[in-house]
Structure 1
Amino acid sequence: MTPLDPQNRTALWLYILAAVGMITILVFLLRFIDFIRFHFVSASQPLASYKLIGSKPTFALVTGASAGIGYGIAQALVNHGFGVILLGHREEELKESAAKLALLREDAQVRTIVMDACTVTPTDMKTAVETFVKSEQICITILVNNVGSNPIRHPPFRELATYYSEDIDAVINTNSRFMAHLTSVMLPILSRPNEGDTHSPDSTRRRSLILNIGSGGMIGSPWLVVYSATKAFNWSFSISLARELAAEESTRHVDSLCVVPGDVLSQGNSVWVTKWSPDSERFGRLVVEKADGALARGWREVRPFWLHDLQYYLLHAISESRRARAVTDVLRRKKDAFNAIHRKEK
């Protein structure tokens, strides 16, 4: 084999570098096009594969649904023909929210379950849910694990060393423990065979969906250490569950998807909200409209709002030192704003 002379060797390297550059540009363009298609093209009939054929309504159980993102998701589901079961701990607020949802459509089907995610025991939860489903004789194909908050003594943003033991337990119970127990209770209901399916007239199973609402805070949020950790648990729980469900023939028809919001203007997050952030109604609609696209792409997690998705990629493209400064700066401003309101209310 004749060795290449220096001039030809240089030309070869230039061709290789040009090819690598072209491939890199092509990959970037394909990802950019997919980003645009995903975020700015929506399905006309979202979640149709989780809806039974016929006149019988198909229900979704939405936790933390009386306000905020949970209510926004419930509203979008009702608008697309699903019945909804609102689960929350404030009975009057649930009734008011249910009444508003019932006005969205003439055929709207809305139910409520009063349950405190922080204090309910696993036994009471299982009994309440199973009794409700049996007494109502309804078909549930969607579970939305949305309930989540930072239920600690004020001020809400503070160092971990200042937490009472009850504060730590309350955050973990509300955000992680309840979700894990409820999903365990609901899986047999979501997994069981049914008379019909939207995919094939010969199928004996319908598809079911579990949406687990996480938080961009799982990246690691100072002054919200326990809350942030529970959201990381929710993310890992959702991804692990998705893989487990797909691995077994008996549960392969049940999808699990983690929804990761960034800043969202809501009842519980109305102070120093990032510019251009969606409100809870818009974000809830995006959750419903983008789930199909995410699952079709084989994703286990999704950021339905385009700016949250962009922020995620940018944060993971920079060094940890810069990422820490950016996150700390945003959280410090939010902490000062929230805690200032608390001081005025004292």
Structure 2
Amino acid sequence: MTANPRTALVTGASAGIGSAFARHLAAQGYALLLVARRADRLNELAAELTAAHQVRCDVFAADLTDPAAPAAIVNHAIAQGIEIDVLINNAGLSGKSAFIETPWETLAAEIQLMVTAPTELMHRTAGGMRERGWGRIVNLSSLAAFSPPGASLLYTGIKSYVALASQSLDMELKPQGVHVTALCPGFTHSEFHDVMGTRASASKLPGILWQEPEEVVREGWNAVMAGKPVCIPGTVNKIAASGMRPLPVGLQYMLGRKFNPFKNG
């Protein structure tokens, strides 16, 4: 088994963009800690990647809608002697019913999964990255972060939070060698639309709007390695985003960094 000084934690690793990230990082020699709800699929993926790339693959089955899950994941890593150098916050879903008609427990789980859990995982792992002088964090946002809000849905607001929080943390951590990138894909071939029950409508969209998970991952990983705080993969998505926001994301980032009243140093 190949020795590698760096380990990546990937959430939502059992399918789609998460499994594509796991494969991409394993091919580069990173050890992996794979997290998702489905232990059987995690074990299959871990066996595949270990056989193909001779890397260490640990698995931890967890449901990130459970408030106790982020601490349990990090405590498991500590117990196993694993230092998290790369964090891929990928796990997510979208509500599919009207806000008022959705039970609060369902909405709270959506917020826990895509706001609280990734934020807590960053908080619990970024300190170690800073101490070691190197770290990479990719947070899955969405092209929706740049679009008008959708009626009844929290998804646009959640993904906007992810995009903005990622940039704020990148400003803080980059001087210590830790890069944070918000990866904002558009329509991507994955199980997302099957889980949400929107496969039929999504399949009617023109092929030019779609990307494969591997394309999204490649652009996202190149972006975080290059220190880019926001990555909108694909030419069509970049054009769409530029038409939906009055200021380019790069300029917004620069203005936020320059005029931050709480800036350190």
**Could you state the TM-score of these two structures normalised by the residue count of structure 1?**
0.62
Q: What is residue 129 of structure 1 aligned with on the other side? A: 74
For structure 2, which runs of at least 5 residues remain unmatched after alignment? 247-265
Instruction: List runs of 5+ in structure 1 lacking aligned partners.
Output: 1-53, 194-204, 318-346
Q: Is 1:96 aligned to 2:44, yes or no?
A: yes
Deviation for aligned residue 1:224: 5.7
2:98 is matched by which residue type in structure 1?
Answer: E
SS across alignment from 2:60: strand
Q: How many residues align?
A: 236
What's 1:308 paired with?
A: 237
The aligned amino acid for 2:116 is R
Task: Report the secondary structure of 1:100's partner residue.
Answer: helix
Task: Give how far 1:129 is off.
Answer: 1.3
Q: Write the deviation string for residues 298-333 of structure 1: whole angstroms up to 9, x where unpaired.
A: x3211132322122123347xxxxxxxxxxxxxxxx
Pair 1:267-2:191 in alignment: yes
Q: Give me the whole-angstrom Cα distance separating, in 2, the residues matched to 1:135 and 1:149.
A: 30
Which amino acid letter does the alignment assign opposite residue 33 of structure 2? I
| Residue aligned with 2:154, SS | helix
In structure 2, the CA distance between the partners of 1:161 and 1:133, relative to structure 1 (3 Å rule), is closer
TM-aligned CA deviation for residue 159 of structure 1: 2.8
Alpha-carbon distance in structure 1 between the residues aligned to 2:245 and 2:81: 47
Which letter maps to 1:303? I
**Corresponding residue for residue 49 of structure 1:** none
Partner of 1:217: 144
- Select 2:214's aligned residue among 262, 281, 285: 281
Q: Give the corresponding residue for 1:61.
A: 9
**Contact 1:144 1:212 survives alignment (8 Å):** yes
Q: How far apart are residue 64 of structure 1 and its match? A: 0.9
State the identity %: 22
Please give the per-residue CA displacement for 1:53-82, whole angstroms capped at 9, x wherever unaligned: x94342111111111111111111111121
Determine if the alignment matches structure 1 residue 192 to structure 2 residue 131.
yes
Name the amino acid aligned to 2:229. Answer: R
Alpha-carbon distance in structure 1 between the residues aligned to 2:17 and 2:62: 18
Report the Cα distance in structure 2 between the residues aligned to 1:56 and 1:100, rounded to whole angstroms: 18
| From 225, 239, 251, the counterpart of 1:292 | 225
CA distance in 2, matches of 1:260, 1:231: 9
CA distance in 2, matches of 1:222, 1:139: 39
Contact 1:71-1:281 within 8 A present in 2 as well: no
Matches within 5 A, 1:307-326: 307-316=236-245
SS at match of 1:210: strand
Paired with 2:104 and 2:148, the residues of 1 have a C-alpha distance of: 21
> 2: CA distance between counterparts of 1:162 and 1:134?
41
| Structural mapping, 1:1-346, within 5 Å | 55-105=3-53, 107-121=54-68, 125-130=70-75, 132-150=76-94, 152=95, 156=96, 158-193=97-132, 205=133, 207-218=134-145, 219-223=147-151, 225-246=153-174, 252-269=176-193, 271=199, 272-273=202-203, 274=205, 275-276=207-208, 277-293=210-226, 295=227, 299-316=228-245
Q: Give the 3 Å change call, closer, same or farther, for CA 142–223 of structure 1 in structure 2.
A: same
**Conserved? CA contact 2:70–2:117, under 8 Å:** no
* Amino acid in the other structure paired with 1:284: V
Pick closer, same or farther for the CA change 1:56–1:108 going to 2, 3 Å: closer
Distance, in Å, in 1 between the alignment partners of 2:101 and 2:48 is 40
CA distance in 2, matches of 1:136, 1:223: 44
Return the TM-score normalized by structure 2. 0.80
C-alpha contact 2:42 2:59 (8 A) present in aligned 1: yes
User: Over the residues paired in the alignment, what is the CA RMSD in angstroms?
Assistant: 2.4
- Which string of whole-angstrom CA distances, capped at 9 and with x for unpartnered residues, describes residues 21-79 of structure 1? xxxxxxxxxxxxxxxxxxxxxxxxxxxxxxxxx94342111111111111111111111
